[in-house]
Amino acid sequence: MTGIFSYLVFFACVVLIFGVLALGLNLQWGFTGLFNAGIVGFYAIGAYTHAILTAAPQPQYLGNLGLPWIVGILAAMAATALAAWVIALLTIRLRGDYLAIATFGIAVSIQLVALNWEALTGGSQGLSRIPKPLSGVFDTPLAFNLWFLFLLAVIVGGIYVALERILRAPWGRVLRAIREDETAAVALGKSARRFRLEAFVLGSMLMGLAGALYVSFIGFVSPFDFLPIVTFQVWAMLIAGGSGNNRGALIGALVVWGIWSASGIAVTKVVPPSHAAQGAAVQVILIGLLLILVLLYRPRGLAGEAAVVSRHAAD
């Protein structure tokens, strides 16, 4: 029983990290309509910034500065925000699928830089010995995971409250106005470019934070963590959970990652090891099928966007 509990704690940590990614995407796509197909690129920048700053020193690497955890987290957010700002300056005028292609390409390039800049990122060998926060105090796996879950819950809770706050504020209403009808928003005197840029940078910064949290949870980072599949998973989470709703983004992270894990468990329970290869293929089909079912029965996601026009509409 403690084993199951221990596994669920670990599972919940991964869900919350994905949740941060989904919240970042929700700000960009759900509220502003920015089609970011390069999530994994920002995730990677955050992850590597954190790893390079905090990992235990090793002579063959430029980085590995052994700085405290919190410095790594803040620097990861700053570095991702800076990178997102530069990228946004170049691409923010692109609409819809054009932005998607540009960001996708950038994410792939970032992964290749991580793979090739060996002196800094460890290249394909990856960087290990990334300290886990307070792992000396919480020295059993379960104690550490519980502590990390608490930490994540606080961080995700904080992000959630802050996002809800700013999205209900005039700033958030402008984002929605731009998403619905950019021309109309501009006609009202709002600078669409500025708001799109702000939403893009803020959302990407959350993705960078998720990357930093991920590496300090796992303790290892390599370019294999940043393949395009991650971008797809986060999109699936947001769409299945409910685009335009922060709660939906978090539910999506839980449900989609739950489907991923539970289908794997289910397959090993039903299929004997001699047919594991076929079973694994069935698992992939199952994941796709469940996602399609969610969308068929809940086309706006499990928790869709609240259809309130104005708080005062009912008055």
Q: Please state, in angstroms and rounded to a whole number, the distance separating the CA atoms of residues 310 and 315.
A: 10
The yes or no reply on residue 58 touching another protein (CB under 8 A) is yes
CB atoms within 10 A of CB 68: 12
Considering only residues 123 through 182, tell me which ones interact with another protein, judged by CB under 8 A. Answer: 123-126, 128-130, 140-141, 144
Pick between residue 33 and residue 41 the one whose CB is nearest to another protein: 41
CB 70, min distance to another protein, A: 21
Q: Please state, in angstroms and rounded to a whole number, the distance separating the CA atoms of residues 150 and 170.
A: 32
According to CB under 8 A, which one of 70, 90, 112, 292 is a site residue for another protein? 112
CB 114, min distance to another protein, A: 11
The yes or no reply on residue 289 touching another protein (CB under 8 A) is no
CB 79, min distance to another protein, A: 22
Pick between residue 35 and residue 260 the one whose CB is nearest to another protein: 260
Instruction: Please return the burial class of 161, using the count of CB atoms within 10 Å of its CB with bins 0-12, 13-18 and 19+.
Output: exposed
CB 131, min distance to another protein, A: 11
Per DSSP, the three-state class of 247 is helix
CB 239, min distance to another protein, A: 14
Q: Please state, in angstroms and rounded to a whole number, the distance separating the CA atoms of residues 82 and 302.
A: 34
Instruction: Please return the burial class of 233, using the count of CB atoms within 10 Å of its CB with bins 0-12, 13-18 and 19+.
Output: buried
Pick between residue 35 and residue 235 the one whose CB is nearest to another protein: 235
CB-based contact 124:115 (threshold 8 Å):
yes
Q: Please state, in angstroms and rounded to a whole number, the distance separating the CA atoms of residues 65 and 18.
A: 27
The yes or no reply on residue 3 touching another protein (CB under 8 A) is yes
Q: Please state, in angstroms and rounded to a whole number, the distance separating the CA atoms of residues 230 and 239.
A: 14
According to CB under 8 A, which one of 100, 262, 291, 295 is a site residue for another protein? 262
The yes or no reply on residue 264 touching another protein (CB under 8 A) is yes
According to CB under 8 A, which one of 96, 268, 288, 292 is a site residue for another protein? 268
Considering only residues 295 through 314, tell me which ones interact with another protein, judged by CB under 8 A. Answer: 302-303
CB 90, min distance to another protein, A: 24
Q: Please state, in angstroms and rounded to a whole number, the distance separating the CA atoms of residues 311 and 313.
A: 6
To 5 degrees, how large is the angle CA 310–CA 235–CA 286? Answer: 120
Find tokens 């500025």 and name the residue.
194
Residue 268 token pair = 């090993």
Pick between residue 29 and residue 217 the one whose CB is nearest to another protein: 217
The yes or no reply on residue 42 touching another protein (CB under 8 A) is no
The yes or no reply on residue 63 touching another protein (CB under 8 A) is no
Cα 50 to Cα 25, 72, 87, 245, distances in angstroms: 21, 4, 20, 29
CB 258, min distance to another protein, A: 5
Spell out, one character per residue from 227 to 246, where the chain touches another protein: x when CB under 8 A holds, - when not: x-xx----------------
CB 88, min distance to another protein, A: 27
207 contact partners, CB below 8 Å, separation of at least 6: 20, 21, 24, 25, 39, 42, 43, 46, 80
Contacts with another protein by CB under 8 A lie at 1, 3-4, 6-8, 10-11, 14, 58, 112, 115-116, 118, 122-126, 128-130, 140-141, 144, 217-220, 222-225, 227, 229-230, 251, 254-255, 258-262, 264-269, 273-274, 276-277, 279-281, 283-284, 302-303
